[in-house]
């Protein structure tokens, strides 16, 4: 599940350049008994299985002995993961991502966790895919991970808004043309067009973001011309 994503694209290049080190830890290596059992039925009854505390805490403690990482549990009960949180975690010396499974982990495991994160209001089969999302979001913010260091600065959510519409060749495609301002060479006009495109898109699709986005007087005037009633 981890092999291909961690070897491809930005993640693969970042690892090859030594910008980040990633290690995988098999939970069954810390389980006892003939069957190396890592889960069991829930007390009180109910459907599904719950991850047992002994092997999971043993794994967390073993991995934490050397690097003293910030320990994160991927779970639907966690706080929402965001671009802002990704930026903060990109500055951490070491992270340990703990992937829940089945109906979740025994509550007592959380005494060995520093933070719970959720990547969205839905449920996955396990935390592995969520961990890959978190890893990708963090690694691409590391210096040298992207070909253009300016790329992350204007992406969706980095500025508090959704990113403006992008265009490339050809100039016309099936009757739709690239906005003329992008050919003008007027950098101030292009910058303003992009800002207004971000504002328009955010108002249409994620108006909730406008409540906390850094808006100046010109931004507010433009939004009000589109029918925005915010402060």
In this prediction, residue 155 has a pLDDT band, given cuts at 50, 70 and 90, of: confident
Start-end of CATH 3.40.1280.10 domains in the chain: 3-139
Question: What share of the chain has pLDDT > 90, as a percent?
Answer: 90
In the predicted model, what is the mean pLDDT of residues 221-228? 98
Task: Give the single-character DSSP code of 101.
Answer: B
Nearest to 157 by CA among 87, 98, 217, 105: 87
pLDDT of residue 78: 95
| Token representation of residue 197 | 């495109």
**What CATH number matches the domain at 3-139, 3.20.19.10, 3.40.1280.10, 3.40.50.970, 3.40.630.40?**
3.40.1280.10
Number of CB atoms found within 10 A of residue 90's CB: 18
Start-end of CATH 1.10.1270.20 domains in the chain: 155-225
Is pLDDT larger for residue 231 or for residue 55?
55
pLDDT of residue 87: 96
Query: What is the pTM for the complete model shown?
Result: 0.90
Tell me what the pLDDT averaged over the chain comes to: 95
Q: What's the rounded Cα separation, in Å, for the pair 96 and 213?
A: 31
| Token representation of residue 137 | 């979001």
CA distances from 144 to 7, 149, 154 (A): 17, 7, 17
Q: What's the rounded Cα separation, in Å, for the pair 132 and 138?
A: 10
Each residue's pLDDT tens digit, 73-127: 999 999 999 999 999 999 999 999 999 988 999 999 999 999 999 999 999 999 9
| Token representation of residue 175 | 């009757």
* CATH superfamily, region 155-225: tRNA(m1g37)methyltransferase, domain 2 (1.10.1270.20)
pLDDT of residue 153: 65
Task: Give the single-character DSSP code of 47.
Answer: S
Angle between helices 9-16 and 128-139 (to 10 degrees): 60
Nearest to 99 by CA among 12, 37, 26, 4: 26
In the predicted model, what is the mean pLDDT of residues 25-44? 95
Helix-, strand-, coil-residue percentages of the chain, each rounded to 5: 40, 15, 45
Question: What share of the chain has pLDDT > 70, as a percent?
Answer: 97
Q: What's the rounded Cα separation, in Å, for the pair 175 and 78?
A: 46
Cis geometry, peptide bond prior to residue 170 (ω within 30 degrees of 0): yes
| Token representation of residue 213 | 């986005």
In this prediction, residue 154 has a pLDDT band, given cuts at 50, 70 and 90, of: low
Q: Establish how many alpha carbons lie within 13 A of residue 174's alpha carbon, considering only the half-sphere containing its beta carbon.
A: 0
Residue 149 has pLDDT above 90, yes or no: no
């Amino acid at each position: 599940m981890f092999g291909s994503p961690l070897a491809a694209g930005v993640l693969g290049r970042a690892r090859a350049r030594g910008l980040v080190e990633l290690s995988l830890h098999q939970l069954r290596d810390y389980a006892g008994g003939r069957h190396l059992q890592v889960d069991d039925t829930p007390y009180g009854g109910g459907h599904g299985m719950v991850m047992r505390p002994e092997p999971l805490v043993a794994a967390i403690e073993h991995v934490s002995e050397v690097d003293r990482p910030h320990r994160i549990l991927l779970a639907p009960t966690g706080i929402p993961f965001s671009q802002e949180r990704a930026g903060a975690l990109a500055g951490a010396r070491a992270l340990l991502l703990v992937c829940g499974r089945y109906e979740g982990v025994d509550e007592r495991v959380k005494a060995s966790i520093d933070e719970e994160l959720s990547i969205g209001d839905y449920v996955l089969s396990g935390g592995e895919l969520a961990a890959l999302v978190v890893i990708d979001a963090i690694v691409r913010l590391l210096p040298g991970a992207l070909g253009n260091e300016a790329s992350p600065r204007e992406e969706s959510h980095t500025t508090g808004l959704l990113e403006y519409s992008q265009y490339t060749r050809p100039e016309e495609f099936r009757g739709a043309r690239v906005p003329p301002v992008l050919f003008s060479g007027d950098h101030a006009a292009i910058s303003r067009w992009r800002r207004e495109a971000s504002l328009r898109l955010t108002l249409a699709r994620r108006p909730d973001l406008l409540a906390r986005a850094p808006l100046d007087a010109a931004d507010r005037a433009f939004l009000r011309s589109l029918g925005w009633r915010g402060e």
